Structure 1
Amino acid sequence: MEGQLEYAVRTLQTTNTELQSSYPAAIEGKQDIEIRPQVGGFITKLGVDEGDVVRKGQTLFVIDPVQYKAAVQQAEASVKVAQAAVATAVLTAKNKKDLFDQKIIGSYELQMAENNRITAEANLSQAKAQLITARQNLSYTNVTSPSNGVVGTIPYRVGSLVSSSIATPLTTVSNIDEMFVYFSMTEKQLLEMSRQNGTTANVLKSFPAVQLKLADGSVYTETGKIETVSGVIDQSTGSVRLRATFKNPNHLLKSGGSGSVVIPYKSDNVILIPQTATVEVQDKKYVYVVKADNKVASTMIEVAQLDNGADYLVTAGLKAGDRIVVEGIASLQDGMQIKPITEAESAAKQEQAVHMSAGLAGKKK
């Protein structure tokens, strides 16, 4: 063993662990409703401001109603005229019927009177329909919120001319009592879960409660539940879109925000190894296994997609009782004989070296 280099070696054992996997996510309100006018005109009043919390039916904007009130009055007048015409046509038709029964007039005049009555009644129905439309247009000048939510950006102000064909909506009302958080998982990851759990419904049931890490690095207090998995794989990215739902009682989460969905996974009787004990060659991971004669053998391993940033969960290539080199692997070569030491011994030697270096530096001063 003389002259052989010392390397820290770990004897592997199974353990129970919980690892986390993090996925970039986009936050959206449960409902993001674009508010668009159904009639044209100048905005005469703003009922809310950006960021206001509104209730369903609350007035958001008022569009100048003058021309629409005039249209209602005109339609009401048209209805009255049509009603009068119907009344006259009915009397005329009744009179013609009496004269026909007395054989004073012929059937032609009677039929003409009936036709005039039918025409008058049709005109009345048309006038009533126009009145309904006019009243509806007048009601549209009072733009209300279709749901509870929070008001977004308001690009139009009092005096702005708007119409039903505007490209940019008046504003957006977001229902943020609950938030949808969208993230993507690779096709491979989803296939692994599907093989383990079967149907998509079972995959969704197997997901634990998830956490949301916000843009500032803090963890959101409410946990979420993954509820849907897209049935279509994005060909450009090879990923599947998932949606988690989070309660948002204090409206801390905002529509359009970003963060990361953190999914915890509990695993029993697994082998964990330090990520620093591996070397990657062409997307494959290798470790140096120490044989009985203390010679190292480069061994390919497979690891789970999940990790905690420091360790890998080994799924193939290693077993309990195997010894692997965990430090200084960059200087190793396949078949090289080493002197194994424990990680504690390695740490003690490193600490001793630091103290000696500090002492020599002190003497030079």
Structure 2
Amino acid sequence: MSNVLFSESFRSGASVDRPGRTVAMRAAVSAALVALTVGAAACGGGAPGNGAPGAGGGMMGVPVEAVTLEPRAVERTAEFVGIIRSRRSTVIQPQAEGYLLRILVASGTRVSTGTPLFEIDAPVERAALAALESTLAARQADAEFARQQAERARALLEVGATSQQEYEQAITAQRTAEAQLRAAEEQVRQQQAQLAYFRVVAPSPGIVGDIPVRVGDRVTRSTTLTTIEDNSTLELYVNVPVTQAADLRPGLPVRILDGRGEVLASETINFVSAAVDDGTQTVLVKAPVRPDGFRTEQSVRAVIVFGEEEAITAPVVSATRINGRYFVFVAQPGEGGMTVARQKQIEVGRTVGSDYVVTGGLEPGEQLIVGGIQKLADGVPVMIMPAGAAQAAAGPAGAAAGDSAAGGR
């Protein structure tokens, strides 16, 4: 339309104006035509191709990094809470009742077998032992006198100064006195053993635990005086729900993790209970543990490795969680030969290292975008670059492309 207007003006001006004005009008018309031609060329542009600038200066794709998804072997694991326990843990309880007279050790003391730990007051038992020891002394005297009488009767019998009957009576008296002596000795030993219960000693070597009792407390056979722990032999106890116990067997690997997920120890299961705990519906699993850095009754994270399986994994950094659902971007062919980003919802399972195990939403062979996803949206043109190069290439051109796509949304 502009061309028509300019032509009309030219024709009308040529018919009435002077020759100088005609030349000026022709120059103006020529300048306007050049401007229109340049503007049309700038607005037309060429068709872009595969995220790169087109022949006429099309939009550049957002630089991204991508990986081709392939199934790989991943461990089939499950995590549980385990307890470290000592195989030589002893609870110290008295075998006698009475008032606590002395505490002979302190918490944290390393003791050996037979080390005295506590002493309980036992006045009645001591008095009974004293009485029995007096009786024993009398029986010893009776036995000695009976032995002398039997020797005298033997000597008299040999010279015919006494009868056979008197000699046999002396022998019988000696045997009776010796039997009474042995009975008294047994009674003394029994009372001494009973009295020994009032002195509590360590039944095994180890370290003394907490001592909850105090001097003067009355203790019974059910009172816990302390514990003795020997951390040289430890075991890991894991209660596995019966629904996950089908694949349990001795020889499976088990890893002990710290709070950050770092592996503290790798052990092997050596015991799987044949019975299910009636109260918790769990199966007890045990594994020996080296004592390095562990303590008795310590709670740990235990990961049991049941085997391996083929699965697709996606880096954690490639997934975005929105309203409890996970989304990723994959690179797919677009219109005009471009490569565009397509957002897909996926289903994820457990985490293996820094990857999610994908249980749905992705197929082998797809190109998963793992870098440069900050400015992506569904349908944005992308330019796949080598690993590590997308961040460096995301300069003004990449930022402009991303901002343009964001403006389009």
- TM-score tier by shorter-chain length is 0.5 to 0.7
2:270 paired with 1:227: yes
* 2-structure distance, mates of 1:232, 1:222: 27
Partner of 1:172: 227
Q: Measured at CA, do residues 31 and 309 of structure 1 come closer, stay the same or move farther in structure 2, by a change above 3 Å?
A: farther
What is the CA deviation profile of residues 226-273 of structure 1, one whole-angstrom value per residue up to 9, with x for unaligned ones? 332111123454431111232235xx5443332211345774754336
Of structures 1 and 2, the one scoring higher in RCO (CA 8 A, sep 6+) is: 1
TM-score, normalisation: structure 1: 0.62
Q: Give 1:58 deviation, angstroms.
A: 2.4
Contact 2:74 2:352 survives alignment (8 Å): no
Query: Offset of 1:33 from its aligned partner?
Result: 1.1
* Deviation >6 Å, runs of 4+: 99-103, 274-277, 316-319, 322-326, 338-344, 351-355
Structure 1 gaps of 5+ residues are 1-8, 194-199, 278-300, 327-337, 361-365
Q: Of 134, 147, 153, which residue of structure 1 is paired with 2:191?
A: 134
Query: Which residues in structure 2 correspond to 1:1-365 (within 5 Å)?
Result: 12-17=69-74, 21-64=78-121, 68-93=125-150, 95=153, 98=157, 104=163, 106=165, 113-163=170-220, 165=221, 167-193=222-248, 200=249, 203-204=250-251, 206-207=252-253, 210-213=255-258, 217=260, 219=262, 221-249=264-292, 253-263=294-304, 267=308, 270-272=311-313, 311-312=356-357, 320-321=364-365, 356=403
Query: Relative to 1, partners in 2 of residues 1:325 and 1:309: Cα closer, same or farther, differing over 3 Å?
Result: closer
Please give the alpha-carbon distance, in whole angstroms, between the structure 2 residues aligned to 1:342 and 1:111. 123
Q: What SS is found at the alignment partner of 2:270?
A: strand
Q: In 1, are the aligned partners of 2:68 and 2:368 still within 8 Å (CA)?
A: yes
Unaligned stretches of 5+ in structure 2?
Answer: 1-65, 320-346, 371-378, 392-397
Q: Is the 8 A contact 2:157 2:167 kept in 1?
A: no
Q: 1:274 to 1:355 in 2, by over 3 A?
A: closer
Q: Aligned in 2, Cα 1:321/1:212: closer, same or farther, shift over 3 Å?
A: closer
Letter in 1 for 2:83: A
Q: Do the aligned residues in 1 keep the contact of 2:236 with 2:287 (CA within 8 Å)?
A: yes
Query: How many residues are paired up?
Result: 310
The offset of 1:131, in angstroms, is: 1.9
Residue 207 of structure 1 deviates from its aligned partner by 2.0
Separation of aligned partners in 1, 2:146 and 2:200: 42
Given residue 262 of structure 1, which amino acid in structure 2 is its aligned partner? V
Give the partner amino acid of 1:172. Answer: T
Across the aligned residues of Structure 1 and Structure 2, the Cα RMSD in angstroms comes to 5.3
> Does the Cα contact within 8 Å between 2:253 and 2:266 map onto a contact in 1?
no
Over residues 159-208 of structure 1, what are the superposed CA-to-partner deviations in whole Å (9 max), with x where a residue is unaligned?
A: 22324x3x321111122233322112234544235xxxxxx4xx32x425
With 230-239 and 10-19 compared, the bigger mean Cα shift is at 10-19
- The change in CA–CA distance for 1:47 and 1:274 in structure 2 (over 3 A counts) is same
SS of residue matched to 1:192? coil
In 2, the alpha carbon distance for the partners of 1:39 and 1:120 equals 34
CA-CA distance at 1:35 after TM superposition = 1.0
CA contact (8 A) 1:152 1:173 kept: yes
Shift of 1:153: 2.6
SS at match of 2:283: strand
Match of 1:281 in 2: none
1:317 Cα deviation from its structure 2 partner: 12
1:71, CA displacement in angstroms?
Answer: 4.3
Counterparts of 2:272 and 2:383, CA distance in 1? 46
Cα separation, 1, equivalents of 2:367 and 2:401 = 27
Structure 1 residue 274: Cα displacement? 7.7
**Cα distance change of structure 1 residues 313 and 218 upon mapping to structure 2, 3 Å threshold:** closer
Cα distance in 1 between the residues matched to 2:311 and 2:266: 27
Q: Which amino acid aligns with 2:98?
A: G
1:83 CA displacement: 2.0
Q: Could you tell me how far apart the structure 2 residues matched to 1:247 and 1:274 are?
A: 34
Paired residue type of 2:273 = S
Per the alignment, do residues 100 and 227 of structure 1 end up closer, same or farther by CA in structure 2, a change over 3 Å counting?
farther
CA distance in 1, matches of 2:401, 2:184: 98
What's the counterpart of residue 6 of structure 1? Answer: none
Q: Tell me the percent identity.
A: 25
Query: In structure 2, how many angstroms separate the alpha carbons of the residues matched to 1:343 and 1:119?
Result: 110
